């Protein structure tokens, strides 16, 4: 690169000035190339801004400036905004339970040292109502990604008709999901069918019947 940047992660051109902006990932810099510094004829740019958008922008700017004062309208972010550094009231964070949630100092919660007994009991909970005492944070922290109380097909993304089974802290499997792997062999290459849900690899030349719509 003639400019010395070799890891450009993105490009953008200003529709007003024609200046080129890009980010160099290795140096962690945002760079602007001034369009006026390029000699005439070597670099040309035609704005892609829609003419209808530009006319609507002018109308909106005129109306806002008329009603709210000159220079009141802007599409640019207000960089003069000051962030309020006041620490919020601690009561807003009472849902972060110290006995069962993210703030717990129990090593079974904060590491993989073990499994909390209460988390194991969540597997059989069916009190999923809105006013239930079930702690949904504890449900997810307990490693339940497929559970009767989780929304949208028990929390899984199985294809239509599929039923999930939870795999503690790893995810879930679907009973209508199968894997086909190619096993190369000099004499007899073949396709191998398996299912994580059924924990099974199907023998060579075996038949598998799939239900329609599942």
Quote the CA–CA distance of 18 and 109 in Å, as a whole number.
54
pLDDT in tens, 117-136: 677 788 888 998 888 888 88
**Which of 53, 7, 47 lies closest to 31, judged by CA?**
7
pLDDT at 28: 83
Tell me: pLDDT of 46 over 80: no
Q: Convert the pLDDT of each residue in 77-120 to its tens digit.
A: 565 667 777 777 766 665 555 555 555 666 655 555 555 667 77
How large is the average pLDDT for residues 30-52? Answer: 71
Phi, psi of 171 (to 5 degrees): 140, -135
β-bridge mates for residue 179, sequence order: 194
pLDDT at 175: 86
Helix (H) or strand (E) holding 92: none
When pLDDT is cut at 50, 70 and 90, the band that residue 45 belongs to is low
Q: What is the pLDDT of residues 17-26, one digit of tens each?
A: 888 888 888 8
CA dist 214 and 202 (Å) reads 19
Side by side, the strands of the sheet bearing 20-24 are 8-13, 20-24, 29-33
Residue 210: what pLDDT? 67
Asked whether the predicted pLDDT for residue 14 surpasses 70, the reply is yes
Token digits of residue 63: 């109306």
pLDDT digits (tens, 9 = 90+) for 148-200: 998 888 888 888 778 888 888 788 888 888 888 877 776 777 777 788 887 87
Yes or no: say if 202 and 194 are a contact pair by the CB < 8 Å rule.
yes
Give the count of beta carbons closer than 10 Å to the beta carbon of residue 112.
Answer: 9
């Amino acid at each position: 690169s003639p400019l010395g940047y070799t890891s450009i992660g993105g490009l953008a051109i200003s529709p007003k000035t024609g200046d080129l902006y890009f980010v160099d990932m290795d140096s962690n810099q945002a760079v602007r190339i001034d369009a006026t510094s390029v000699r005439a004829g070597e670099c040309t740019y035609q704005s892609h801004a829609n003419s209808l958008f530009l006319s609507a922008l002018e109308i909106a700017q005129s109306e806002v400036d008329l009603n709210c004062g000159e220079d009141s309208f802007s599409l640019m972010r207000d960089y003069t905004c000051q962030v309020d550094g006041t620490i919020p009231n601690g009561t807003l964070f009472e849902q972060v339970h110290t006995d069962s949630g993210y703030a717990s100092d129990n090593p079974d919660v904060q590491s993989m040292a073990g499994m909390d007994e209460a988390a194991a009991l969540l597997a059989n909970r069916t009190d999923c109502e809105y006013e239930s005492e079930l702690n949904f944070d504890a449900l997810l922290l307990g490693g339940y990604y497929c559970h009767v109380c989780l929304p949208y097909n028990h929390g899984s993304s199985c294809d239509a008709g599929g039923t999930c089974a939870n795999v503690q802290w790893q995810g879930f499997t679907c009973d209508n999901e199968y894997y086909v792997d190619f096993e190369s062999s000099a004499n007899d290459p073949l396709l191998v069918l398996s299912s994580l849900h059924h924990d099974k690899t199907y023998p060579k030349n075996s038949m598998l019947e799939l239900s329609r719509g599942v």
